[in-house]
Chains A and B, each alone.
Chain A
């Protein structure tokens, strides 16, 4: 009697067989993606197919690190993982640990590997980045002599600075020999001692841009003593060369903008600097002159010369006042003198004599003012204006205050 097994027992048995199989535990399968479904849980369900058949695949959310791009139906991929049995459905599936694109995908893998390697060596380190000079007089360009890139760089560079010397190294930027040509170009231009070098090309497929992902090119950029600006493809294309360069420009046009200073702006800035300096110095000098003038004035006020002048002025003033006072006084005294003289003249006995009065003295020189001072026979001296008369008293008459006359002894003069 044959033994009868349950479904579960069979599935478990098969699962165990799969698990024990060394090859199925780690296997890489290539095929085209179909029935792709990104589940909300984070798991990805899809099928791999080729001309001969189909295999179900799942990548669990926990293994998502093994997928570096967005999968799409129809992509040719290589899935690495294990083939195991899903007991419930009695199906086997490929449990994906890692998914990579075939072809371009492999290149991307190489890109990542090289990037990691060079990064670990420090070739992308910020400390080795050279500053791009603010004002470049000479610009080296390593790119294809044909194509838009070189024209874009030339147009923009010369528009910003028509006095710029551009030196092109016409390089082969894709295909066999491209990396050697680019390396030679970098080395040749570096030896010329230019101010800055642009290395790049226009857009293209990842294969077209591949030369800029080569280690030799990265090394040449890293070793270049002239600052290097990389400009490969479009904004979204990032190459190893970009990491190694001192500065990455998203496009060749942008590289020209970054490499070349706007010379008109620079010249204007210089002119402005000159004006500011001249103005600053002029106003300073003027201020200093003003202060000097002020000091000179204050000094001259304070100087002994001015004080002497002041004193001299004072002296002259006093002299004048003294003079005036003297004149006034003199005039005053002269006036008083005249008045007095006038009065004196009125009082002068001589004047009286002139009016017919005379003055009488006795023989002893005494002034005779009364009849009592003389007597008959005495000699009297009568003074008149021009001399004196000697006379003898003949008679004396008394004249009373009441007007009656009395005769004393006769005789009259």
Chain B
């Protein structure tokens, strides 16, 4: 699966299922390590998508260019 294609929404859904599977007592250890790694990747992905830089509101001017609103 190409992770670049995942939306935050999908990543969250996957993350949910990973966590659930990981918390399942029946899940074998070996699989758990793989799940953990997958979960961490998904977390990273989500965190990357949610960038935490505040931005100025922009508007499209008459020339079709962006300027601060």
Chain A: residues with CB nearer than 8 A to chain B? 133-135, 137, 145, 154, 158, 162-170, 185, 188-189, 263, 266-267, 269-270, 273-274, 276-277, 280-281, 284-285, 288
Contacts and interface: CB of A to CB of B under 8 A. Distances in A.
Contact of B12 (A134, A163, A165, A277): A134
Nearest to A282: B36
A163 B16 CA distance: 24
Given A135-B50, A168-B59, A288 B15 contact: no
Contacts of A133: 7-9
B22 A277 contact: yes
B49 interface: yes
21 contacts: A134-B7, A137-B50, A145-B59, A154-B57, A163-B53, A163-B54, A165-B55, A165-B58, A166-B55, A167-B60, A168-B58, A168-B60, A185-B60, A188-B64, A263-B50, A266-B8, A266-B50, A270-B50, A277-B22, A277-B39, A281-B33
Residues of A contacting B: mostly: helix
Contact of B15 (A167, A188, A273, A281): A273
Contact of A284 (B12, B29, B46): B29
A276 B52 contact: no
A167 B59 contact: yes
Given A168-B60, A273-B39, A281 B46 contact: no
A169 B7 CA distance: 26
B31 to A, nearest CB: 10
A168 B46 CA distance: 26
B23 A276 contact: yes
B23 A280 contact: yes
Given A133-B7, A135-B50, A167-B60, A145 B69 contact: yes
B5 interface: no
Contact of A162 (B8, B54, B66): B54
A25 B58 CA distance: 62
Nearest to A161: B50
Interface in B1-57: 7-9, 12, 15-16, 18-19, 22-23, 27, 29, 32-33, 36, 39-40, 43, 46-47, 49-55, 57
A274 B8 contact: no
A251 B40 CA distance: 39
A163 B52 contact: yes
B9 A135 contact: yes
- 8 pairs of A and B residues whose beta carbons are closest in the complex: A135-B8, A134-B9, A168-B59, A280-B22, A166-B57, A165-B55, A280-B23, A277-B39
Given A134-B9, A145-B69, A285-B29, A273 B58 contact: no
Nearest to A278: B36
B57 A168 contact: yes
